[in-house]
Amino acid sequence: MPCDMSPAVMAQAAKSYGYVIVWMSISITVILFNKWLLAYAGFPFPISLTLWHMFFCSTVGFLCVRVFKFVPSHNLSMADYASRVVPIGLLYALSLWLSNSSYLYLSVSFIQMTKSLMPGLVYFCGIMLKIEELNMYQVCNMVLIAFGVLVCAFGEVNLHPLGLTLQLSALGFEAARLTLVQILIKSKGIAMNPIQSLYYISPACFVCLFIPWVQLESSKVIPLLMEGKVKFPPALLLLNALCAFALNLAVFMLIGKTSALTMNIAGVIKDWLLIWFSFSVFQAPVTMLNLAGYVFCCAGVAVYNYMKLQKMKKLEKKSLSRKITVDLEKNDKRESA
């Protein structure tokens, strides 16, 4: 059967798949790298690891924007920075801190299963902040996804209540952050590439994390690093930060060159790969009840993505119809003149 796809379409498809593979590879690497550092390498300091990431990203952002001027600055005033960026930075700091902390108590596979809740949490945050409309079909779908995660929890062999609390809290803060980005940044017409995001948001995250770090981890981490008692070469921390930075770029490239919907669909595949890696690399037990619950979650997420795609198509049709109407009115005015 002859192929109906032109070389240009095939080339574009190959590029899209390439972006997906790059993002999935880097994301899996960062997650497994963090898990190994925090749970197996004798470095159980999630605030310190997150603080280090924010320091590294802040430095790279400053160099790119202010020193080498690779990308322009938005020149936000202090008032705009405090009202628009700091709340997002605070939520991002809490999300990263608690998410990394959960690796001390939960398996990578179970953490990925809980992330199925993210669409529902973002949706309910949108309803509370009045940027989403209440739709009972969507609500029922989100309840079904939550039920699937509950089944996963019942099937988890090493379920730790504190770890579960930390992970669910991290998801809640991340959902609130994504919603605030839409309200405080995008609604004001401020478009940020990944370097600009690092430049503005990473310092706010760093400051928000510094206070708990001083109180909770500084007295343990500084002597450990100064005396060289870590079980791995300190250079691995630099490599870990580079991986986290690369992930920011990969996310931007994937969404910019494809779509957020493509990223959601690819995320499901990535989560299944991480479940397999968690089982094979870290020997984390995965039960049939775990998998059954997660299949249920994936079905719910698939329905969510389908409904989102249909909504996007309707909006696109309305926009096209409006454009055609405007063009016809312009032509009528020209002819009447």
Does a structural domain hold residue 73?
Answer: yes
Does a structural domain hold residue 7?
Answer: no
Does a structural domain hold residue 13?
Answer: no
Residue in 84, 57, 14, 64 with CA at minimum distance from that of residue 238: 57
| Tokens of residue 104, six digits | 């001390």
Q: What is the per-residue DSSP string for 42-101?
A: S---HHHHHHHHHHHHHHHHHIIIIIS-SS------HHHIIIIIHHHHHHHHHHHHHHHH
- Determine whether 79 is exposed, middle or buried from the number of CB atoms within 10 Å of its CB (0-12, 13-18, 19+): exposed
User: Given this model, what pLDDT does residue 16 score?
Assistant: 76
The total of structural domains in the chain comes to 1
Cα dihedral: 203, 240, 173, 200 (round 10): 20
User: Given this model, what pLDDT does residue 1 score?
Assistant: 45
Give the chain's radius of gyration (CA, Å).
Answer: 22
Question: Domain containing 271: what range?
Answer: 22-336
* 337 residues of the chain, pLDDT tens digit each: 445 556 766 777 677 788 889 989 999 999 999 999 999 998 999 999 999 999 999 999 999 999 998 888 888 889 989 998 999 999 999 999 999 999 999 999 999 999 989 888 988 998 998 888 888 888 888 888 899 999 999 999 889 999 999 999 999 999 999 888 888 777 677 778 888 888 999 999 999 999 999 999 999 999 988 888 888 888 999 999 999 999 988 887 777 677 666 777 788 888 888 988 888 888 888 889 998 999 988 888 888 878 877 877 787 777 777 777 766 666 766 666 5
CB burial readout 31-45, b (16+ within 10 A) else e: bbbbbbbbbeeebbb
Does a structural domain hold residue 239?
Answer: yes
Does a structural domain hold residue 14?
Answer: no
C-alpha to C-alpha distance for 95 and 175, rounded to whole angstroms: 9
User: Given this model, what pLDDT does residue 218 score?
Assistant: 94
Does a structural domain hold residue 6?
Answer: no
- 325, 330, 332, 333 from 337: Cα distances, Å: 18, 11, 8, 6
Does a structural domain hold residue 209?
Answer: yes
Does a structural domain hold residue 166?
Answer: yes
3-state secondary structure of 106: coil
Residue in 171, 174, 127, 163 with CA at minimum distance from that of residue 146: 171
C-alpha to C-alpha distance for 323 and 315, rounded to whole angstroms: 12
